[in-house]
Structure formats: structure tokens, C-alpha cells
Amino acid sequence: MLSRLLKEHQAKQNECKELQEKRRREAIAAATCLTEALVNHLNVGVAQAYMNQGKLDHEVKTLQVQAAQFAKQTGQWIGMVENFNQALKEIGDVENWARSIELLDMRTIATSLEYVYKGQLQSAPS
């Protein structure tokens, strides 16, 4: 009877060990699945962040190129405006020169006419 009890006890212990081993394998499998799911979830976020970073880098490079082009074009516009401004100044200088020449010529002509008129008056018989 004692040996039978011992055998039953050993059989129950073996069943418990097998059940415990089965539960351990199931727990390991569940933990592995959970870990993979967490890592995959994190990888999706990391992959999205990496893609966004790539897009941002591309946009930054494009913006730098456009800013350089804009700066070059702005420099050209400034040069054109300065040249135009200089041309306007020169036109103003020419206009002032023409006015002073015109004024001087008019004075000369007026003086000459006055001299001629006075000379005619003096030489005319009264």
C-alpha cells in the first residue's frame, strides 16, 4: 500500500511538473509575442520618425537652394535699382546743366538783343 501511495504521489508530481512546464512554455511564448508586439509598435514609430526626418532634410536642402537663388536674384535687383537711380541722377544733372546753359544762352541773347536794340536806337535818326 505504501508503494502504491508513493507511485501515486510520484505520478501526481510528474503531472504537476508537466503542467508547470507546459504553463512555463506558454508564458514564455506569450512573453515573446508581447515583446515582439511592443518592439514592432516602437519600430513603426521609429520608422515614421526616420521617414519624417528624411523628408525634413530634403525640405531643408530645397529651402537652402531657393534661399540662395532668392539672395542672388535680390542682389541683381538691387544692382539694377542702383543703376537706375544713378541714371536718374545723371538725367537730373544733365537737366540742371541744360537749364544753366539755357539760362546763360538766354542772357547772352537778351544782352545781345538789348545791345543791338540800343545800337539801333542810337544810330536811328531822330
The alpha carbon of 6 is separated from its chain's Cα centroid by a whole number of angstroms, namely 84
- Could you say which DSSP state residue 1 is in? -
Instruction: Give the mean pLDDT of the chain.
Output: 88
Rounded to an integer, the average pLDDT of 76-101 is 85
Burial-class residue 117 by CB neighbours within 10 Å (0-12, 13-18, 19+). exposed
Return the top range by mean pLDDT from 2-6, 72-76, 88-92, 95-99: 72-76
pLDDT for 126 equals 54
